[in-house]
Chain A
Amino acid sequence: MLLEADVHAYLFLSFSLLAVGVYGLLSRRSVIRMLFAVEMIINAANLNLAIFSAQRNVDGEIFAFFTIGLAALEAAVGLAIVIVFYKRFGEVIPSKIRNLRW
């Protein structure tokens, strides 16, 4: 096998990706970067599904398909929102738009 590794190593990869994603989600101010971060988090979860699926049965892999499909969809909707956002406000920095507060 090409990538012979312990399951803990794979989980470490997955958690690292999750941590980077969360860091990006919380620190970036641009909506596009935040979408990147969301995709990283989804990929981390997907990786988890694939790893456990490789050790046990095929169901996890099938779920990974669904996740990929939904993530792509989410990216499409999110980017649509980004464009509408830009048309409306002229920028893509959500922190400057504080309509939804007291």
Chain B
Amino acid sequence: MGNVYFWIIYAVVIGSAIIALEATSLLWAAVSFVVLLSEIALVYFGLNMPVLGGVQLAIYAGGVTILVLFAIMMIGESYKKPEGKAVKAIVLSLLLLIIGTFFSFLSAIDTLPFKTFSTELLGTVFVEKYSFFTIVLGFIVSALLYMANAIITKKREAK
């Protein structure tokens, strides 16, 4: 079922995720969120995917976290622990976990040996197979960014 390092990482991931949701201070929740993202980057490194891990670190642990911190800075830190409909959420999430795990064990997923892909292969496949897709995606991304800009710079309506 795997070695002890995996379960340590598992514990850190889930623990930091729960802390990110449950922490009273929003700032400490953001810090915990950074820990979660870094641990997932560690999982990618462990799977011999250094490029993906680097991108995860750069974009998630770097960019998104900075954005979150700026947002927290702009709206002000909150220490109030917001109450919620916890029971319904716990039931649904546990249901998801049980169903997912149960079926992942039930269905015959092959346990193949892990391969190692070189960066050259990654680049070749990317350029040969997905370059056109990247261009289309680029336009979509540009449009989304433009819309985000438009939303932010929109003047508040006069009351």
Using known A-B contacts A27-B89, A72-B60, determine if residue A3 contacts B9 with beta carbons closer than 8 Å: yes
Give the interface centre of B104, B105, B112, B156 by most chain A CB atoms within 10 Å. Answer: B104
Query: Which of chain B's residues have a CB closer than 8 A to the CB of A9?
Result: 1-2, 6, 10
Question: Does the CB pair A84–B151 fall under 8 Å?
Answer: yes
Majority SS at the chain B contact face:
helix
Contact residues, A12-34 vs B (CB, 8 A): 12-30, 32-33
Question: Does the CB pair A23–B64 fall under 8 Å?
Answer: no
The 8 Å CB contact of A8, one of B36, B109, B147, is: B109
Query: Which of chain A's residues have a CB closer than 8 A to the CB of B89?
Result: 22-27
Query: Which of chain B's residues have a CB closer than 8 A to the CB of A33?
Result: 20-21, 29, 82
Write the residues of chain A forming the contact surface with B, with a CB cutoff of 8 angstroms. Answer: 1-9, 11-30, 32-33, 35-37, 39-40, 43, 46-47, 50-51, 53-56, 58-59, 61-62, 64-66, 68-73, 75-77, 79-84, 86-88, 92-93
